[in-house]
Structure 1
Amino acid sequence: MSMDILEIARVQVLDEGRGLTAEQALTCLELPDERLGELLGLAHEVRMKWCGPEVEVEGIISLKTGGCPEDCHFCSQSGKFESPVRSVWLDIPSLVEAAVQTAKTGASEFCIVAAVRGPDQRLMDQVREGVKAIKDAVDINVACSLGMLTQEQVDELAEMGVHRYNHNLETARSHFGAVVTTHTWEERLSTCQMVRAAGMELCCGGIIGMGETREQRAEFAGQLGELAPDEVPLNFLNPRPGTPFADYPLVEGAEALKTIATFRLALPRTILRYAGGRELTLGDLGTRDGMLGGINAIIVGNYLTTLGRTPEQDLELLADLKMPIKALSPTL
């Protein structure tokens, strides 16, 4: 009789700190719903042992919204779809004010996002000005998400003092072509590898519920395990009007929680962050279950084109769960 996957994970992941393989992750995802509590409990033990009790809080804001030339089928910011999002640029004072307000929540990270294939010189200049203005105004780490980068741009962002760069692989390599056709998974991976090599922290995750199979979710967990990013944001599809995925169903709550716990077991030392879609997919009770099932970071406030819970709701949840907010640590 073969060993139970959770018995295997208890030794391999909890005791030894080695993440699940894609094949093992699939076995976890296929566990019956009545074993969800066991799975979440083990994932929480793994999180506490290898990451500790602290929760990293982050705020995000869009410097350039809408009008993106790419065709990511989930995204209402694509200029190729008839969505209600219109192209807008944010001014630097508004950017700084958002960073200040984010810091007041106790957040240690503030991410500047732009809806672009990759940054042009105008955007790089604005980011440079914005990063400096934020650092002059408030003590918070600045992250960026500006699409695909050249080596020169990676070096420039590192020189600016950008702490972390977000570039999601979005989904498993085998499923990517059903989600995006204007660039490749390999192009995204290249940016991620350059970011790591330049010494910036790498934030790289994706979206669950874009028509992928359980096998492909497990494949994605394994691929992220190989890349070993510092942070993995887990989004759940919030179908946006006008996009090709507008009519996709929401991920069921139990399936979402299995995914969270499985990704924790595949990535025992990684910051696993609640991101977009959790409010619809999990609600308040499910959000709490996820925090007790491997999640150790959250985005507070609204997302780029969708509304989130208020920061006060999330901070109250963390206080109720007695999970301390990770303090800002100095960066070199």
Structure 2
Amino acid sequence: MTDILQRARRVLDTGQPLPPEELLEILHVPDEQLAELSRLAHEVRLRWCGDLVEVEGIISLKTGGCGEDCSFCSQSGLFKESPVRAVRLNIDEIVEGAKLSHKNGATEYCIVAAVRGPDDRLIDQVGDAIVAIQREVDINISASLGILTPEQAARLSDMGVRRYNHNLETAASHFPRIVSTHAWSERLDTLRLVREQGMEICSGGILGMGESLEQRVEFACQLAGLEPAEVPINFLDPRPGTPLADAEVMSRGDAMRAIAMFRLAMPATILRFAGGRELTLGDDGTEAGLLGGMNAIIAGNYLTTLGRPAETDLDMLDRLQLPLKVL
């Protein structure tokens, strides 16, 4: 075992994260030590989070036509070559999505919209959807509607939104290379509003967007500083028509090192597998990640990319004897 893995074992006993310089060492662990690193991250997860796996379903209330220029996102209306076009769902479709998510073992259902921030009409529609869902399904409601004002955050909290997702996406030092139409600090401000209104913070991002290993650690530490309830981890799935369309897909080894690093940076936080896991980690990648530090998944498809069938993930959890979180 390398020296850094020996030192990292103290996280098991203390529940305290590794400092940035040691987190960076984790990202340099050689391939022959990857299995040992993953076992350690899994042990930390079991001790400080327990063995339950939380499943979430997501639905896009408004897809495409966004006025922001996030380089990874095919929903930007500024990228004319993107195949994604604007679509808006009705309440019945959102409720049916909640029912399907519940059937697939989800305890969390996130309503998402591709916007810089919501207008009154959008928030009204989310409120109507929440009322309709709660009549039909026993499931927690999350939302991801972009940058919020104080008044909007208060309204969403009053509507019953339990957890609000607004990804920081990447390290503050790397963000200007990825987005130019708004600042990283605006995202941070929204997360502070979310906490002030009593909603749980859900914030993560995308790995493999050209960030350095140092920036990967910077990102994990910035997220840890928010003390989020949940951190969704995506791996870049280069989308046609976007500025990152030709980016190289992150290697499986680097992805596994990153998962372990995030766990050692946030021992007691929900780390949720999100988009790109199938492309980056392969057919058995979800299994490897859940035995390497992750403890939650999004079941089914993502916003603009296909995931694995939910039944496949549920069968995998049963085979690994990893129990589902239930309400």
Deviation of 1:156 (Å): 0.5
Query: What residue in structure 2 maps to residue 71 of structure 1?
Result: 69
Query: What residue in structure 1 maps to residue 33 of structure 2?
Result: 35
Does residue 221 of structure 1 match 2:220?
yes
Task: Write the mapping of 1:1-332 to structure 2, written as runs, cut at 5 A.
Answer: 4-11=3-10, 13-82=11-80, 83-328=82-327
In structure 1, what residue type is equivalent to 2:54?
Answer: E
Deviation of 1:279 (Å): 0.5
Number of aligned pairs?
325
Partner Cα separation in structure 1 for residue 276 and residue 6 of structure 2: 31
Contact 1:301 1:311 in 2 (8 A): yes
In structure 1, what residue type is equivalent to 2:213?
Answer: R
Deviation of 1:4 (Å): 2.1
Partner Cα separation in structure 1 for residue 162 and residue 76 of structure 2: 27
Unpaired runs of 5+ in structure 1? none
Please state whether the residue corresponding to 1:284 is helix, strand or coil: coil
Structure 2 length-normalised TM: 0.98
In structure 2, what residue type is equivalent to 1:118?
Answer: G
Calculate percent identity across the aligned residue pairs. 63
The two structures, once aligned, show a CA RMSD in angstroms of: 0.9
Partner Cα separation in structure 2 for residue 221 and residue 20 of structure 1: 11
In structure 2, what residue type is equivalent to 1:107?
Answer: A
In structure 1, what residue type is equivalent to 2:12?
Answer: L
CA offset digits 1:55-96 (Å, max 9, x no partner): 000000000000000000000000100201111110000000
Partner Cα separation in structure 2 for residue 160 and residue 6 of structure 1: 46
CA offset digits 1:111-151 (Å, max 9, x no partner): 00000000001101100101111111110001000000001
Contact 1:17 1:50 in 2 (8 A): yes
In structure 1, what residue type is equivalent to 2:263?
Answer: R
Contact 1:20 1:222 in 2 (8 A): no
Deviation of 1:10 (Å): 1.1
CA offset digits 1:274-328 (Å, max 9, x no partner): 0000000011222211110011000000000000000000001100110000011
Partner Cα separation in structure 2 for residue 6 and residue 194 of structure 1: 38
Please state whether the residue corresponding to 1:111 is helix, strand or coil: strand
Contact 1:57 1:297 in 2 (8 A): yes
In structure 1, what residue type is equivalent to 2:164?
Answer: Y
Structure 1 length-normalised TM: 0.97
